Amino acid sequence: MTVATAGNRWVARSPGARLAGRRLLTVIPVLLGVTFLTFVVMNLLPGDAAQELLGVNATPAEVHQLEIQLHLNEPFWVRYGNWLGGLFHGDLGTSLTSGQNVTAILGQRLPVTAELLLYAFVASILLAVGLAVLAARRPNGVADRISMVVSMTGLSVAPYVLALVLIYVFAVRLHWFPAIGYTSLTQNPEANLRSLTLPAAAIAFPLFAVYTRLLRADIVEQMQREDYIVTARAKGVRPWRVLCRHALPNSLFGLITLVALNLGTLVGAVAIIEPIFSLPGVGAILISSINNHDVPVVEGIVVVFAVVVVLANLLADMLYATLDPRIRYERSAA
């Protein structure tokens, strides 16, 4: 018994590390795949950066001149290879439009986007857990019906519509938050949060709707179908504790999966929301970069998001292991 248990403890630490290691290895092919696909798409589109920079009135000779300057005349593979090579050295290239170092651009803009998304995520998850628990306490009760209406609204509203409505109500009419503009965290924390609240809400509300719906359904399912819930009730445990200590931890798996899955779609949300609020994040320049065929900038943004998505999925896996000891300790008894 002693030997077996000791062996069990030792094995327990490894699976987590092994899992992490395995996952990190998958980062590279995914990154390659995503960046390659982006490169392909950008190059398939008609037109190029030189054309965009010089405008419609430029002569073909001028365009060609600029193309040579920007290395755009080299074959596809060479360009991709160069960029990839640069990536391994940590050099993401320079913007074709502004000439700025892409890393520098990202360095300036990423913190804004990161803070915005973090704000949105934390808010949406916390609120979702809160509302889902309240709703699941009494299925088809008052809180539950409210949660369904709220969820349905959040699922049906377009983020850009929500953003504008929020601006109108809270900025134009009530003057609680600024309609546009951004104050950095270091300058003024309070103004920083206020400038990010409306855009974060526009992003968070649809997420919150989906999360609440899923979590509520999972919790209710646990409460109604699982035997250990009956055991807990038979012990005389209070209903709130049964809900929060027993049902909730076992219901989080679906939510975690969904959150990790959703991260990729946030690129799109950010690309629309940031310009509306004039936030100096990466989303704001994504569309213009696509328009200008500024490949290095687009690739840079894509790389960052791809890494974040992969890391998020890795984090999700680790969270599964934390929540479910069956994953952590692989040994199962006879």
Partner 1 sequence: MSAPLPELLAPAQPQGVPAARPRGRGRAPNLRIWLPAGFLIALFCACFFWPLVYPVPKPIGGSILNSGLPPLSPGHIFGTDPVGNDIFSRILHGGQVSFEVGLSVTAIGLAIGGLLGVAAAYWGGAADTAISRVLDVFIAFPALVLALAIAEGLGPSELHVIWALAIFSIPAFGRIARGATLTLREQTFMLAARLSGTRGRRMITRHIVPNIMPQLLTFSLLGIGVVMILEGALSFLGLGIPPPEPSWGSMIAQGQQTISASPDLVLIPSAFLFATVVSLNVLGDALRERWANPMGQSR
Partner 2 sequence: MGQPDGTEQVTDALLDVEDLRVTFPGRGREVHAVDGVSYRVYAGQTLAIVGESGSGKTVSCRAVMGLLPPGALITGSARFQGRQLIGLSDDQLREHRGANIAMVFQDPARSLNPTMRVGAQIAEAVRAHQDVSKARAKAQAVDLLRLVHIPLPERRSVEYPHQLSGGMRQRVMIAIALACRPKLLIADEATTALDVTTQAQIMDLLLELQAELGMALMLISHDLGLAGAYADEVIVMYAGRIVEQAPAARLFSRVRMPYTQALFEAIPRLERPAHAPLPVIGGHPLGPPDASDLPPGCSFAPRCRRAADDCRAAAPPLEEHEAGHRWACWHPVDGGTS
- Using CA atoms, how far apart are residues 83 and 77, in angstroms rounded to an integer? 10
Binder among 23, 170, 226, 290 for partner 2 (CB under 8 A) = 226
Return the number of the residue (148 or 307) whose C-beta is nearest partner 1. Answer: 148
Residue 77 CB burial class (10 angstroms; 0-12, 13-18, ≥19): exposed
Amino acid in the structure at residue 194 = R
Torsions phi, psi of 138, nearest 5?
A: -135, 90
Interface segment toward partner 2; rule CB under 8 A; list 69-77, 184-192, 227-235, 288-296: 227-235
Shortest Å distance, C-beta 266 to partner 2:
29
Shortest Å distance, C-beta 8 to partner 1:
32
137 binding partner 2? (CB under 8 A):
no
Shortest Å distance, C-beta 138 to partner 2:
9
Q: What is the dihedral of CA 256, 232, 134, 123, to 10 degrees?
A: -30
Binding-site partner at residue 235 among partner 2, partner 1, none, CB < 5 to 8 Å by type:
partner 2
Amino acid in the structure at residue 324 = D
3-state SS, 87-108, equals HHCCCCCECCCCCCEHHHHHHH
Which residues, numbered 304-323, are part of the site for partner 1 (CB under 8 A)?
Answer: 305
Binding-site partner at residue 239 among partner 2, partner 1, none, CB < 5 to 8 Å by type:
partner 2
22 binding partner 2? (CB under 8 A):
no
Shortest Å distance, C-beta 213 to partner 2:
22
The answer to whether the CB of 21 falls within 8 A of the CB of 317 is no
Interface segment toward partner 1; rule CB under 8 A; list 59-67, 83-91, 98-106, 149-157: 149-157
Shortest Å distance, C-beta 334 to partner 2:
6
230 binding partner 2? (CB under 8 A):
yes
213 binding partner 1? (CB under 8 A):
yes
CA neighbor of 182 nearest in space, from 313, 108, 277, 248: 277
The contact mask relative to partner 1 for 16-35 (x = CB under 8 A, - = no) is -----------------xx-
The answer to whether the CB of 243 falls within 8 A of the CB of 136 is yes
Shortest Å distance, C-beta 10 to partner 1:
37
- Using CA atoms, how far apart are residues 82 and 296, in angstroms rounded to an integer? 11
CA neighbor of 97 nearest in space, from 289, 233, 279: 289
Return the number of the residue (188 or 322) whose C-beta is nearest partner 2. Answer: 322
4, 62, 104, 222, 279 from 98: Cα distances, Å: 64, 18, 12, 55, 19
Q: Which residues pair with 101 in a beta bridge?
A: 94
164 binding partner 1? (CB under 8 A):
yes
142 binding partner 1? (CB under 8 A):
no
Place of tokens 């590390």: 17
Interface segment toward partner 2; rule CB under 8 A; list 24-32, 121-129, 191-199, 319-327: 319-327
113-145 burial, b at 16+ Cβ within 10 Å, e below that, comes to bebbbebbbebbbebbbebbbbbbbeeeeebbe
CA neighbor of 295 nearest in space, from 109, 77, 98, 43: 43
Interface segment toward partner 2; rule CB under 8 A; list 87-95, 125-133, 155-163, 323-331: 323-331
Interface residues toward partner 2, by CB under 8 A:
1, 5, 8, 224, 226-228, 230-239, 245-246, 249-250, 323-326, 329, 331-334
Interface residues toward partner 1, by CB under 8 A:
33-34, 37, 41-42, 44-47, 139-140, 145, 148, 152-153, 155-161, 164-165, 167-168, 172, 213, 216-218, 220-221, 224-225, 264-265, 267-269, 271-272, 276, 286-287, 290-291, 302, 305
